Amino acid sequence: MEQQGFAMGSLNLKKYFLAKNLKKDLPASIVVYLVALPLCLGIALASGAPLFAGILTGIIGGIVVGTLSGSQLSVAGPAAGLTVIVLNAITSLGSYEAFLLSLIIAGIFQIVLGLIKAGTIANYFPSAVIEGMLAAIGIILILKQFPHAVGFDKDFVGDERFIQIDKDNTFSGVLEAISKINYGAIVICAVSLLLMIYWPKFKKLAAIPAPLLVVVMGIVLSLLFTNTGFALRDKQFVQIPVVNGIGEFFGLFKMADFSSIGNKQVWITAFTIAIVASLETLLSLEAVDKIDPIKRVSPTNRELLAQGTGNIISGLLGGLPMTAVIVRSSANVNAGARTKTSAVIHGLLLLLSLLFIPKLINMIPLSCLAAILLITGYKLARIALFKHMWHKGLDQFIPFVITIIAVILTDLLIGVGIGMVVGVFYILRTNLRNPYFYHIEQNGNKKIIRIRLAEEVSFLNKAAIQVTLTSLPKESHVIIDGHNSRFIDPDVLEIIHNYKHNAYTKGIIVELENIKPIYEVPKLKELMYNA
């Protein structure tokens, strides 16, 4: 069904262009565009690729993947998590064109993953880990945007990892920024933050998106600060390639080197990109679904098909690897988007700005864009979220916090991997503690111990059940009830039957209720029917 939806995706766009949706999607697309623009450039720079490649990838991610994707709120574009892989690949392969061939092959791999329904792996990410990833991204946004907010623009915009390309880290970047403040940038950021917070409260004026107003204000203030002590430097503005004519525009595209098809390293790079990009996409998709106000569930396999198509086209035209990106997607959700029209329009805006107004775009101060991302970061890592996770218990709170720390101190995939290990540990711990329900019943003067087994009793429950049975008092009357059990592991069954046969030595009477001689693993159709 997902493949059919994928094929029909481009034919059903008309239903998204409804007035009630456009009223939300159009302002949101402007916000995403303003967030995506510097990120596309920064990721291209950090990857050792042409700046145009970053913008091109954002355009394809918005228009192509946005159209084909089944997700209504995720936004695709170049991913910061792949910068090191891309940088190393370009160096090891010897040319950017050979890398582009790897990207095309990676896209084909992703389509295969979608066809074999590998996207279902997203269903196994623990909720606490996803919440922790979102909060970590929010904190990273605040830490990474702080230097730009105060006018220290040394770091690569969009480098979200702890250890950066320049070997500094997130914290050292913040400390260095404090010592090299530009007061003009601080003023622009402060005014931008006030506009972002208070402008939406004026309902009669809220039709004008606050981020658009922030950008206009940033340009005006930067012009007013010219030739004063508050003047901004060239590095403190957006920098996109200026194209003079259609000939120069087409000259920016790169062609893949298909003669490198026999190079083993090309295939290794392709496989690496496909796996990492797919995992990051699935993580982002799961996270966006969690913050979707309407709580829609995105089709993961269709997303892999869309991402694979986008990466093939990106490789053919000279772009970078793309994924569903949580920063842009979060900004999209927080800006009030309702459908994928927002992602498509943001791609069109990137294209139009590159073609027609590059000089105007290059007048936007990075400090006002930093303010937009600071607000987005705060919404993702709000204090209320920490309180909510604390009240859910330590089994949820500890994986949540460890995921946050791990993502901040490493990168998205490593951090989530660490969080997954901790999350799975607590899941197994809970499972070990709940293989049965222990209840003492009164039957006249006689007490009966009823042990009601859980729905699924696995090998992991073996030790807990063994300890419980051997610790039962002598001369007890024990009923082991398997009425609710769909599956009992053979090892556990052996323990139960052995206990029944040998319990008479302790004067214990054992009754087995609804315990089958053997259990088969329930099939998916049976589980769905019973549910």
Per-residue pLDDT tens digits for 347-393: 999 999 988 889 998 999 989 988 888 888 888 888 999 999 999 88
Confidence of residue 261 (pLDDT cuts 50, 70, 90): very high
For residues 75 and 346, what is the distance between their CA atoms, to the nearest angstrom? 9
Q: What average pLDDT does this structure show over 331-340?
A: 92
Chain centre distance of CA 390: 22
Least confident of 178-187, 243-252, 387-396: 243-252
Own/partner long-range contacts of 7-13 (Cβ < 8 Å, ≥24 apart): 9/67, 9/68, 9/69, 9/70, 9/302, 9/306, 10/67, 10/68, 13/67, 13/341, 13/344
pLDDT per residue as tens digits for the range 64-73: 999 999 999 9
Q: How large a percentage of the chain has pLDDT more than 90? A: 40
Please answer whether residues 379 and 138 qualify as being in contact, where contact means their C-beta atoms are separated by less than 8 angstroms: yes
Model confidence at 287: pLDDT above 80: yes
Other CB atoms within a 10 A radius of the CB of residue 226 amount to 10
Instruction: Provide the residue type at 205 as one letter.
Output: L
Confidence of residue 10 (pLDDT cuts 50, 70, 90): very low
Residue that wins the pLDDT comparison between 7 and 243:
243
pLDDT at 179: 77
Rg (CA), the chain: 28
Model confidence at 463: pLDDT above 80: no
For residues 228 and 13, what is the distance between their CA atoms, to the nearest angstrom? 50
Provide the token pair at 21: 């949706």
- For the chain, the straight-line distance linking the first and the last C-alpha, in angstroms and rounded, comes to 22
Continuous segment of H or E residues that includes residue 446: strand 446-453
pLDDT per residue as tens digits for the range 75-89: 999 987 787 788 889
For residues 184 and 238, what is the distance between their CA atoms, to the nearest angstrom? 16
Q: What average pLDDT does this structure show over 489-515?
A: 89
pLDDT at 410: 84
For residues 175 and 179, what is the distance between their CA atoms, to the nearest angstrom? 7
pLDDT per residue as tens digits for the range 94-103: 899 999 999 9
pLDDT at 9: 45
Model confidence at 523: pLDDT above 60: no
Model confidence at 6: pLDDT above 70: no
Least confident of 159-163, 298-302, 394-398: 159-163
pLDDT at 208: 78
Q: What average pLDDT does this structure show over 166-186?
A: 80
For residues 482 and 513, what is the distance between their CA atoms, to the nearest angstrom? 6
For residues 187 and 339, what is the distance between their CA atoms, to the nearest angstrom? 35
Q: Where in the chain is the domain with CATH 3.30.750.24?
A: 434-530
Q: Report the mean per-residue pLDDT for the chain.
A: 85
Model confidence at 5: pLDDT above 60: no
Pseudo-torsion of CA 354, 360, 366, 367, nearest 10°?
A: -150
Q: What average pLDDT does this structure show over 143-161?
A: 71
pLDDT at 156: 45
pLDDT at 277: 92
pLDDT at 442: 66
For residues 108 and 305, what is the distance between their CA atoms, to the nearest angstrom? 9
Rounded to two decimals, the pTM is 0.73
With CA atoms as reference, report the closest residue to 402 among 426, 377, 373.
426
Please answer whether residues 287 and 325 qualify as being in contact, where contact means their C-beta atoms are separated by less than 8 angstroms: no
Model confidence at 333: pLDDT above 90: yes
Residue that wins the pLDDT comparison between 436 and 65:
65
Confidence of residue 436 (pLDDT cuts 50, 70, 90): low
Residue that wins the pLDDT comparison between 57 and 174:
57
Model confidence at 529: pLDDT above 50: no
Q: What's the CATH superfamily of 434-530?
A: STAS domain (3.30.750.24)
Q: How large a percentage of the chain has pLDDT more than 70? A: 89
For residues 189 and 213, what is the distance between their CA atoms, to the nearest angstrom? 13
Contacts of residue 505, defined as CB under 8 A and 6 or more positions apart, other chains included, come to none
Contacts of residue 468, defined as CB under 8 A and 6 or more positions apart, other chains included, come to 436, 438, 451
Q: What average pLDDT does this structure show over 453-475?
A: 82
For residues 29 and 468, what is the distance between their CA atoms, to the nearest angstrom? 59
Provide the token pair at 519: 């259990």
For residues 163 and 146, what is the distance between their CA atoms, to the nearest angstrom? 16
